[in-house]
Structure 1
Amino acid sequence: MKKFNAFILSFLITCMVVTVSCDKNGDIVLFSINNDISLGQQVAAEIESMPEQFPILDRSSNIEAYTYLEGMMNSILASSSVTYRTEFPWKVNIIDDPETLNAFATPGGQIYVYTGLIFFLDTEDHLAGVMGHEIAHADQRHSSKQLQRQYGVSVLLSIITGGDPGLLTQIASSLGTLKFSRDAEAEADDFSVLYLADVNDYACNGAAGFFQKLLDSNAQTQPEFLSTHPSPDNRVADINAKATEEGCDTTMGADAVSDYDEFKAALSN
């Protein structure tokens, strides 16, 4: 009983330091939305300070490419299924690495897309599917929850308040390979379908096209974020099943391929 009382006392003390509540997704959290935003912005600043590892394309020199990708992100964020579309300071960055098939999201809505992934895909619908998936990881707070499990709430809070800068560098370096549970991955896939179904600008099963391309290409180098995930063939089937369940449009827009080719050409210049 004494041990139990000590646990309760410790929990109450923790509650005085951090907010314990249900977030808008219905999850009980110790890490607030403002904490997500602060951590995401600090990680983004750290990533920007590491140009050798993260060669981010300059916006002023790549206006056309960023305008295209920001337009895609903003279109997806118009979905009513995005929980924190007005709270998070959503931002997309392009990492100039043609050898890497990857994309990732920080807590609080900072999205990163590698040029290797952009050039690998054939249509904007496929990229929109991947973008929706990454937005879901931030919006459903998968990134935040996984970092909390890995480092602990108190450690993350100490980073936000100016703690160990080396740990911040470690977190920034590892986000591209952050391992999510199978449930989190399935949820992100489902929300990608819901987002695209809501906005009706892209084929709602666009993410399935990405996984199908992996299967068709027999790519030697799999995206790092797929290393422990369900197999691509299962995800193609599951995403298509979700699209059928929602009854949403799975056809590409008439200009989808040509517009995407122009976007890739802008990145090549």
Structure 2
Amino acid sequence: MKTLKYMAIILSLAFIIYGCSVNPVTGKREFMIFTDEQEINFGKEADPDIQWQFGGVYNDQQLSAYVETVGQKTASVSDRNKIPYHFKIVDTSDINAFALPGGYIYITRGLLVRLENEAQLSAVLGHEIGHVNARHSMKRMQNTLGFQVLLAILDQAASGSKSYQEWRGLVKTGSSVAFAAVSLGYGRENEFEADALGTKYASRAGYDPQGMVQLLQLLKNLSEREPSSIELFFMSHPKTSDRIKKVNEEIAKLPPQNQKGVVNQDDYKSKVSDLLIVQKAYEHYDKGEEFRSKGNYSQAINEYNQALSIRNIAKAHYGIGRVYSAQGKYDQAISEYKATLRIDPGFVFAHNSMGIAYMNLRQYDNAVTSFKKAASLYENFDDAWANLGEAHYHLKQYTDGIKALDMALTLNAEHPRAYTTLGLCYEATGDKQKAITAYEQAIKVAPKESYTETARQRLSELKKS
């Protein structure tokens, strides 16, 4: 009873302290249990997960610097211009842009090649800045798991726990919710508000506010010509004609001097000129991925090679490597993964896939090196930790294996292979009861996984002994 009373008092104090937050856009008081600092820290922690969910950051420093410049110029005149903003290009042909809490804003390579001028770029970044300013993403987070997160933080603070794994698990949970918010959008009214704010911020930054109208018209045209390319974007947004009407109403409200501004079409075309060439290579890569996913390997390799004939892009080598791995040609796969990493040393999935190829060749020391690199580049990569644990098991490094597998299961409590390998490690160290528990969990969370058959066999043997 005392514990419940204590927690109730803490929660009540939290509500009083955070419940008086003022929305910087509307000026109205609203209930928020997260401070600006917590919001910024959450965005920082979730950023790697979101990056890799969308294929990683596009590797072009000059273009990235250009997007960052336009983004910072637009954010500097926003209602929350005191928080740090980060603008990143994610390496996917999908047409999208999205934001995390705390100023982390992303635009896809696929959308950049479709835009026509800098005013449109400011408009789309301004729209995402608007989501951050109005705290749309943080409100979604708060509504979905705010109390759970708060209680978890209080619990760790009260117990003095500073477990790195517990913290990473908490971050992974939050990142999953953030990814869902990014994918599903914020609802009709929030999107209208972000359009209005983006129009205002772009205008304040000196851009023609018609850039927002042009952007929306461009997206509308794309949805009619190539519906599959923009399906995700429109799934979560209001009807485009309604958005255009409301944006024009917002422009009419602007001071006369702000109703016109720069467009910078020539500058924009110059900045994205190389991307327009590279995108042709990615079109072949995307086709290669479609063929590979269907098992049409010869056609996939043909598309990847056509991509490479246009530009030596890392992902085309990675695609060829994955085909070779699927065909059991592990030495050739490793050669392609190495080619991938010579172009992009930070490409996490190539390190992980190369480790798997080494495992199949029983080169476990090399596999450990690859998996460690993948996990160091992307700490929340549960597969890399599970694979690392398996490599340690084969090397009879059971303590290291258990540590890696515990991390994998902290990040993903239903990982299909980690419990089985964990059971093998415990069994090898003579801890029969922990091995039994791990095998039972493997059967519970992944009953149809082929790897789980090992758990069933070992569990049966242990229970007989």
Q: TM-score range by the shorter chain?
A: 0.7 to 0.9
Superposition RMSD in Å = 2.8
Match of 2:213 among 208, 215, 224: 208
Secondary structure of the residue aligned to 2:140 is helix
Alpha-carbon distance change, 156 to 63 in structure 1, aligned in 2, over 3 angstroms = farther
Is the aligned partner of 1:226 residue 2:234? yes
Identify if the C-alpha distance between structure 1 residues 149 and 205 changes in structure 2 by more than 3 Å, giving closer, same or farther.
farther
Structure of larger gyration radius: 2
Per-residue CA distance 1:36-95 (angstroms, 9 max, x = gap): 1111011013335x3x6432123xxx221022111101111221xx22211x22101101
Show the counterpart of 1:4: none
Alpha-carbon contact 1:46-1:172 (below 8 Å) kept: no
Name the structure with the higher helix share: 2
Match of 1:15 among 12, 15, 18: 12
Q: 2:132 aligns with which of 114, 132, 138?
A: 138
- CA distance in structure 2 between the partners assigned to 1:92 and 1:153 by the alignment: 29
Question: CA, structure 1 residues 165+207, in 2 after alignment: closer, same or farther (shift >3 Å)?
Answer: same
Give the partner amino acid of 1:204: P
- The CA deviation at 1:11 is 6.2
> Which residue of 1 is the match for residue 191 of structure 2?
185
Query: Contact 1:106/1:138 (CA < 8 Å) preserved in 2?
Result: yes
Mapped partners of 1:156, 1:167: distance in 2: 13
- By how many angstroms is 1:15 displaced? 3.5
Return the alpha-carbon distance in structure 2 between the equivalents of residues 22 and 92 of structure 1: 26
Q: Which residue of 1 aligns with 2:79?
A: 83
Q: Is the 8 A contact 2:57 2:89 kept in 1?
A: yes
Stretch deviating more after TM superposition (155-164 or 230-239): 155-164
Matched, 1:109 2:107: no
Q: Which has the higher contact order (CA 8 A, sep 6+)?
A: 1
CA distance in 1, matches of 2:124, 2:139: 20
Give the match for residue 69 of structure 1: 67
CA gap of 1:192–1:39, structure 2 versus 1, over 3 A, is same
| Change beyond 3 A, Cα 1:142–1:197 | same
Q: CA deviation at 1:189?
A: 0.8
Equivalenced residues, count: 252
Asked whether the equivalents of residues 148 and 156 of structure 1 are also in contact (C-alpha less than 8 Å), the reply is no
CA distance change for structure 1 residues 83 and 156 in 2, over 3 Å: closer, same or farther? farther
In structure 2, what is the equivalent of residue 47 of structure 1?
Answer: 50
1:213 deviates by 1.1
Q: Distance in 1 between matches of 2:117 and 2:134?
A: 26
Structure 1 unaligned spans of 5+:
1-7
Is the 8 Å Cα contact of residues 113 and 272 (structure 2) preserved in structure 1? Answer: yes
Distance 1:174 1:118, change over 3 A: same
Partner of 2:247: 239
TM-superposed CA distance for 1:175, in Å, is: 4.3
Asked if residue 257 in structure 1 is aligned to residue 277 in structure 2, the reply is: no
Distance 2:8 2:136 in 1: 23
User: Are residues 156 and 212 of structure 1, via their aligned partners in 2, closer, same or farther at CA, if it must alter by over 3 Å?
Assistant: farther
Asked whether the 8 Å contact 1:95–1:113 carries over to 2, the reply is yes
Length-normalised TM-score, structure 2? 0.49
Instruction: Give, in angstroms, the shift of residue 10 of structure 1.
Output: 7.2
Taking a change above 3 Å as real, the CA distance of residues 173 and 187 of structure 1, as seen in their structure-2 partners, is closer
Indicate if the aligned counterparts of 1:37 and 1:107 stay in contact, CA closer than 8 A. yes
Equivalence for 2:337: none
TM-score for the superposition, normalised by structure 1: 0.82
2:47 & 2:179 partners in 1: Cα distance? Answer: 11
Q: Which amino acid aligns with 2:262?
A: G
Deviation, 1:141, is 0.7
